[in-house]
Amino acid sequence: MIKKVLTIAGSDSGGCAGIQADIKSISACGGFATSVITAITSQNTLGVTYIEELSLKSIETQIDAVLSDIGADAVKTGMVASTDIIKLIAEKIAEYKIINYVFDPVMIATSGDTLLKSDATESLKKYLLPLSMLITPNIPEAEILSNIKINSVETIKEAAKIIHSQGAKNVLIKGGHADKDEYSTDILYDGKTFKEFKDLRIDTTNTHGTGCTYSAAIATNLAREYNLYDAVSLSKKYITESLKYGVDMDIGAGSGPVNHFYMLNKTV
């Protein structure tokens, strides 16, 4: 039986990130994707030009429509731009007793555009973080959540401990923004031990939607009943291959997408 994965996030008109990237990632990893759109963004590979949040009523009824009928074996959240939206989603995750909840704390787009209102960071910590089975910040997001500067493996681990102390069951800090060495290393902390997930760093500008894609893949693999370590390991391989096979994708003049369906483009 196919596993169902709900993504709650913003829509990216350029198709690189957000809901669009999540649906591609979930589908490529073997899940059935459902979606709740929190905001409509006007964006392309060069940046975000406009954001319009959907009403709380629209978001609430979308969640209820999906979860009351189809259900979800895992849920992931991406762009949730305001405190009111954050509180509503937290209430619904609790109401529907979601266990496999992957929280991608989207704050800044690949282009550098801000996707989270300034007063909402504390709301993320207060309402969503304690409900998450896993939170997946990149280094800039982990710096904001932990309030420390990250410039080494030691400070990544320190930040992970701080974020875990705020209520997250597991913390995965992604190393894509670290110094450009040969490998990209992500560090998982479960409150007791650290585990590293390392793969070759891909030299590419086509990185738009990488975080969305990665977290959606993890949620899908959790839904498919892999344990957390294996879910992250499989998803790390998936995002690395998506980056590798997306190097030559000629889409847009800026930061293009990864190749979510790279397996269809491999030559035998």
Q: Which residues are catalytic, by number?
A: 174, 207, 209-212
Question: Could you tell me whether strands 48-53 and 31-43 are parallel, antiparallel, or unpaired per DSSP bridges?
Answer: antiparallel
Q: How far is 129 from 249, CA to CA, in rounded Å?
A: 35
Query: For residues 72 and 46, is the Cβ–Cβ distance under 8 A?
Result: no
Q: Which burial class, exposed, middle or buried, applies to 201 when counting CB atoms under 10 A from its CB (0-12, 13-18, 19+)?
A: middle
Query: For residues 74 and 132, is the Cβ–Cβ distance under 8 A?
Result: no
Number of residues that this document lists for the chain: 268
Q: How far is 103 from 79, CA to CA, in rounded Å?
A: 10
Q: How far is 186 from 191, CA to CA, in rounded Å?
A: 16
